[in-house]
Structure 1
Amino acid sequence: MSYEVPDLSAVVAEQSHDLLFATVSGAHLYGFPSRDSDVDLRGVHVLPLTEVVGLRRGPETKERMWVRDGVEIDLVTHDVEKFCRLLTRPNGYVLEQLLSPLVVHTTDGHRKLADLAAGCLTSRHGHHYRGFAVTQWRLFERTGEIKPLLYTFRALLTGVHLLRTGEVVAHLPTLLDKLDGPDYLAALIEAKVLGEHRSLAGVPERPAPERLEADVAHWHEELQNARTASDLPEHPPAFEAVHEFVVATRVS
């Protein structure tokens, strides 16, 4: 399922702080948007020195949700310092946002930071993806909706692939091909197109609960095995380089 990045240059131009980058995240990045999915824009803004060194501190995080041309847009940006702090921790969200192929706005700084991303990958990212999968599975058990079920498998497969290869892939259909994931997920992706909160109970050829539980347990085990066997370091070797990037970006 392909997705064409909309022209959101006007949205970028409206921001009160310069943006280092803005990319599309969420269901569109993961490969299973619904017809009524909003567009999750994520990125980095740069606070000027006057909003960092004085008494009036600028916003570390800016959030806004609105409807533009009939499309609901959810925009969240972090200041470059906060984003880079998260990048040097085992945080898969910011990695995926930084490396998202769905680019709305980019700069030389974005490309430089993306080049540093490989040095921020660690074996501890396995904890991030395990935690996200557990949270989404519990949500699926409460709601029975397809969305958290797909999020569960997306997190597990992204984590396994990252720990095995050092490559960040957030697109579930691609991961299914690379890792030979459960065959029924492709049909569930198609079913979710009809509605953001569609129930699994409404899918005629849905997998049995026992099959789902067994498959989730299997991929949790694969994630743990991948972490144990991973060649990725425990801590990010690019920490100092990212620190220098933040300083250079701020003073420039």
Structure 2
Amino acid sequence: MKEVIVDKIHEIEREHQVKILFAVESGSRAWGFPSRDSDYDVRFVYIHRPEWYLSIDEKRDVIEVPINEQLDINGWDIRKALKLFRKSNPPLLEWLGSDIRYYEAYGFKEDMLALSDRVFSPRASVHHYLHMATGNFRGYLQGEQVKIKKIFYLLRPILACKWVEKYNANPPILFQDLVGDLVTEPELKAAIEDLLRRKIAGEELDLEHRVEVIHEFIEKEIEHLTEFARSAHSELEDPTQMLDELFRKYLKIVWNFG
């Protein structure tokens, strides 16, 4: 599949007259809990030619490829990515941390990773993951029967919040790393590991009675993390000048501009 994805990346470059700086996997495969039939969620950052940016009009800064049963591919223009990086955008930080890498060029991803500690906002991270958890809890875990897939879409953001609370740092992308560090109660850990095994085996669509030890953990942590989110704060220097310089650096490297 990697060869198919790399071919698609080069096709996007030709069709849109851009250069892709990196492309990675996101979603359940990157998080460590894919099912047998999980599709590939490919995310990338790209850069246009310099003249594209020299315009009085704002232009579309996203490339989206029609989704099929196997592939979901879309990406952000470098300027959009750097604006979101300035805000400590958690999905973008997950892209940078993904262990499933399809394509990298020019060193841009390494430069962003080197700067990630200087833009990371505990407040932005906690609010993002807590919003995700509470939304999924209201939407999918109110009944007596739940889908295995939805449980993980609650557990991962909750554990991501707990990582920020414990370490004041960006959480790792792998679900197993979060569980190994943060889940210490044996019964809860065993229940999570059993569900993880079943999900990877392809049972994510099955409805079943909710697992009370997990449900109680989720309820308790949402209440606790809601309180924690109110006190989470960030004191960061404005990174705009630094990111402007990074933007100009890659216009020059990729297109020999300036």
Could you list the per-position Cα deviations for residues 46-85 of structure 1 after superposition, in whole angstroms to 9, with x for gaps in the alignment?
1222222236765301111445xxx711111000111111
1:86 and 1:220 mapped to 2: Cα distance? Answer: 26
The answer to whether residue 108 in structure 2 is matched with residue 109 in structure 1 is: yes
SS at match of 1:37: coil
Secondary structure of the residue aligned to 1:201 is: strand
What residue number does 2:134 align with? Answer: 134
Q: How far off is 1:198 after superposition?
A: 1.4
Decide which moves more: 240-249 or 112-121: 240-249
Aligned letter for 2:131?
G
Q: Bigger shift: 192-201 or 98-107?
A: 192-201
| Cα distance in 2, alignment partners of residues 159 and 246 from structure 1 | 31
Give the corresponding residue for 1:82.
80
Please tell me whether the aligned partners of residues 157 and 219 of structure 1 are also in contact (alpha carbons under 8 angstroms). no
Q: Give the SS at the match of 1:169.
A: coil
Cα distance in 2 between the residues matched to 1:175 and 1:112: 25
Contact 2:118 2:236 in 1 (8 A): no
Q: 1:35 to 1:44 in 2, by over 3 A?
A: same
AA aligned opposite 1:74:
D
Q: Report the count of equivalent residues.
A: 239
Gaps of 5+ in 1: none
Question: Matches of 2:22 and 2:224 in 1, distance apart?
Answer: 34
> Is residue 171 of structure 2 the alignment partner of residue 168 of structure 1?
yes
The 1:199/1:164 distance shift into structure 2, 3 A limit, reads same
- Quickly say closer, same or farther: Cα 1:239–1:213, change in 2 above 3 A: farther
One-letter identity of the residue aligned with 1:6: K
Alpha-carbon separation, structure 2, partners of 1:228 and 1:248: 38
Change (3 A) 1:198 1:105: same
Distance in 1 of aligned mates of 2:21 and 2:127: 28
Q: CA deviation at 1:160?
A: 1.8
1:149-188 alpha-carbon deviations (Å, 9 max, x no partner): 1011101111221343214312111211011263211111
Q: 1:153 to 1:76 in 2, by over 3 A?
A: same
User: Structure 1 CA distance, aligned partners of 2:207 and 2:175?
Assistant: 18
| Distance (Å, rounded) in 1 between the aligned partners of 2:51 and 2:240 | 26
Instruction: Tell me the residue number matched to 1:149.
Output: 151
Q: What CA distance in whole angstroms lies between the structure 2 residues aligned with 1:22 and 1:46?
A: 13
Runs of 4+ in 1 over 6 A off after TM superposition: none
Q: Distance between the aligned counterparts of 1:220 and 1:239, measured in 2?
A: 34
- Which TM-score applies when normalising by structure 2? 0.81
SS class of match (2:34): coil
Q: Does 1:188 align with 2:187?
A: no
Contact 2:122 2:170 in 1 (8 A): no
**Is the deviation greater in 112-121 or in 167-176?**
167-176
Other-structure match for 2:71: 73
TM-score by length of 1: 0.83
1:207 and 2:211 matched: yes
Going from structure 1 to structure 2, the CA distance change for 1:35 and 1:239 (only over 3 Å counts) comes to same
* Richer in helix (by share): 2
